Chain A
Amino acid sequence: MRIVDRIRRWLSESPDLLEDAGGIGETRDLPREVMRREQHEADRFLSEGAKSFDRKKFRTVYGILAAASAAILIGVLLTAVAALPRYGVENERMDEVADYYIDHALEDTGAVNIVSGMILDYRAFDTLGESFVLFTALNCVLILLRRDEPGEEGEDDYYDLTHDNILRKAGLVMVPSVILFGFYVMLNGHLSPGGGFSGGAVVGAGLILTAAAFGNAVSARIVTEKTFRILSGTALGFYCLAKSYSFYTGANGIESVVPLGTPGSIFSAGLILPLDIAVGIVVSLTMYGIYRMFRKGSLT
């Protein structure tokens, strides 16, 4: 029996019961040429194996199984959704929270836009987390795509549109209005539909349009690497500190010194306006940064 042999050998001399089990045993002691030749053989075998491997059959079986499991999941979810409470029908338990927001948001948070009051005051901790999700995503893209070694940078000029006259002329008109509109949405978040996330997305689109129409060099002058880091760092740092103050005072029953102001005026709703600006900065810079990483791999 092999196993008995193996155990006997293990007890007497070999340090490892499973030494030759994986087939690597002594290869390390072979001369280099032999190893290389064997490696080559193995590679050839693998690539030929991949060729002879019945891809068509595998794909058929895989396709059928995938479709079947997706169909089952779709069926289960649709049945579950069909059994959910009907949309628009009054239901005391389920509408409790929503009704409270509608009735009290103006008085509690000072924001005319209830959504802003919800995301930046009632449920501000979630939104703090969401901004950091963006920050995390941006940094993961930086890790993947940022080129740090000199000479590594290469411009992706296949889609270079800076010579496109239509885009350039349209950009001249659109860029200022898009960015201006973005700031309007950002600053009016507590008064009208909008806020930091949507306004920031519009500003970010404006910055991307600048880079696409006038070239990276132009947009890099508007948002330099240093500005980028300092702005995003300051915005997130301010967000942390401002919200810490409001969490701390709220949890310990201390009256917050931030005034709610007159609802409807631009300086109202307490911390919501500055937080909207901070979120807007983070969102726009994240969008722009990710675009630049995909285009060039650097912000310069």
Chain B
Amino acid sequence: MDFFRNFPFISIVFSLFSAVVCSLLPGKAARIWTIAAEAILALLSAGTLLYTVILGESVTYRMGHFGAPWGNEIRFGMLEALTALVFALVLLLSVTGGARYVIRDVPPKKINLYYLLINLLGAALLALVYTNDIFTGYVFLEILTLTSGGILMIREIGRTTLAATRYMILNLLGSGLFLLGIILFYDVTGHLLMPDMHEALLELGKSGEYALPLSVTTGLVCGGLAIKSGLFPFHTWMPDTYGFATPTSSAILSGLVSKGYIFLLIKIMTRVIGLDNPILTVARNILFLFGLLGIVAGSVLAIRQNSVMRMISYSSAAQIGYIYMGIGLGGTAGFAAAIFHLLTHAVTKPLLFLSAASLMEVSGDSPVFHDLQGAAHRNRGAGFLFTVGAMSMIGIPIFAGFTSKLLFSLAAIGHLPFKTFSVLVILAVSTILNTLYFIRTMIRIYTSPEGKKEDRTPFGPQLSCVLSGSVMAAMNVILGLQSQPVLALIERGLALFS
């Protein structure tokens, strides 16, 4: 059993190694290797989760022969292991479910490069989840930025190149701010490992030294990561990025990449700065405000779209807003709600993107609502899965989306009246807006144009997409129905953070 503590390190290095292997394999073999590698990652993460739950505490794992504060470390408790498990599963399901679209959209000789990037992306996500060292965080954040740009632009149509350019500009701005923040942090604290930085910051907080650089650096780190994860008003890259990338990439970019940045931000807030540190208050309030604005703006923009892909993309902008709202609320309840929603969105958005892609496929590859009419009859499986995803996004009970909205409203109670009130109102308004655009799509895909005879198929041209989608839908329902154990895990993990 003690061997299980090596699993996080093995999963990161194995994923990097898989990328090297994929560079030497032809496309099809690279796909099979990648699917196997992601399955292994999921198993290793499940093992880690089991280990940490049995152990009941977090593990600090030394990367090499030198412990803190001289060497690199990774660290894992229940929360890290749970997040890694969900990330690995979603990555696996996106790759299996979207394999068909990769063959369609990616030039045949570059397919192995695509899967190479997927492996690197998986390694970077896991490293961001597990790292206990802020600079290791930056290194793998760079890998995540580059790989996400790569899996976007590999579909060689003009719009993806344009989208990738815009995506890179905003992302690099975020990386730059984040790096400046780390430099200032290091300059003041003299450490890069999170626990040592935290101790130094506590000392400085008592003596009141360097208050100004510390507030600036907090702003830089929060701002940088918020820009990278696409918080309003920096969501403008989303619709083109998610709308024109190959569906696998859209699923991974919206479901996982932005979540990796948010998880790192949560780690830095809780483990480095400390939740009760006064320098965090301003940053949290600003994030809260932009989170609220993002929810409304994203939903309103989503309503105005004529393309289902762009609609889902704008909906992502709104969901990022929810997560930042939870972070802004603060407290264990706020953070737990934010993390629960992070997991919910990570299993729901890829489901929506993949099922929408399947629906488009039976509608002449058109994302326009007019052409999607009756698509759910032409591919019943995908139509059903889209409905599941949409209902979860709206917040219908038994689906995970309902639980996260409930958690947000519970977390809002007990704050300043203004905060409580604004959260509740925004939640109500956004639920109505969500209903408006998702119900509209559901009605569209289930009503055939008058007098047209649909040729009905159970799952369209490809079974694998519907199968992977079903697993994601099942994960969604499990998160919705069994929210208490998951929430308990999140809360225990959060308690170990500080």
Residues of A within 8 A of B (CB): 15-18, 21-22, 24-26, 28, 76-77, 79-81, 83-85, 91, 93-98, 100-101, 108, 121-126, 128-130, 132-133, 135-137, 139-140, 142-144, 146, 148, 229-230, 232-233, 236-237, 240-241, 243-244, 246-252, 256
CA distance A17 to B369 in the complex (A): 12
Additional 19 contacts, C-beta under 8 A, given A93-B189, A129-B140, A250-B63:
A16-B444, A18-B303, A24-B306, A77-B216, A81-B184, A93-B200, A97-B190, A98-B190, A108-B66, A122-B72, A123-B135, A133-B139, A135-B120, A136-B120, A139-B150, A140-B150, A144-B153, A236-B20, A251-B6
Cβ-defined contact, B142 with A133, below 8 A? yes
Q: How far is the CA of A240 from the CA of B373 in the complex (A)?
A: 51
Residue on A nearest B2 in the bound complex, by CB: A252
- CB-defined interface of B114-141 with A at 8 Å, one 1/0 digit per residue? 0011001001000100000101100110
Contact with A along B58-98 (1 / 0, CB 8 A): 00011111100111101000000000000000000000000
Is B53 an interface residue when CB atoms closer than 8 A count as contact?
Answer: no
Residues of B near A124 (CB, < 8 A) are 63-64, 72
Nearest B residue (CB) for A104: B70
Is chain B's binding surface mostly helix, strand, loop or mixed?
helix
B170 beta carbon closer than 8 Å to chain A: no
CB under 8 Å from chain A, chain B span 458-477: none
Q: Are A143 and B110 in contact (CB under 8 A)?
A: yes
Residues of B within 8 A of A248 (CB): 6, 9
Kindly state whether residue B410 has any CB partner on chain A within 8 Å.
no
Closest to B151 in A: A143
Enumerate chain A residues within 8 angstroms of B72, measured Cβ to Cβ.
122-126
The 5 tightest CB contacts between A and B, nearest first, are A94-B190, A129-B139, A125-B72, A80-B216, A250-B65
Q: How many A-B residue pairs have CB under 8 A?
A: 192
Is residue B16 within 8 Å, beta carbon to beta carbon, of the partner chain? yes
Say yes or no for B371: interface residue by CB 8 A criterion.
Answer: yes
Give the interface centre of A83, A143, A232 by most chain B CB atoms within 10 Å. A143
Which residues of A lie under 8 Å from residue B20 when comparing CB positions? 135, 233, 236-237, 240
A124 to B200, CA, bound (A): 24
Is the beta-carbon distance between B69 and A80 smaller than 8 angstroms?
no
CA distance A176 to B21 in the complex (A): 32
Asked whether, in the complex, the Cβ of B19 is within 8 Å of the Cβ of A135, the reply is yes
Residue B147 is within 8 A (CB to CB) of chain A in the complex: yes
- How many angstroms between the C-alpha atoms of A142 and B16 in the bound complex? 18
Q: How far is the CA of A32 from the CA of B182 in the complex (A)?
A: 57
> Judging by beta carbons under 8 Å apart, are B136 and A125 in contact?
yes
- Chain A residues, Cβ within 8 Å of B305: 22
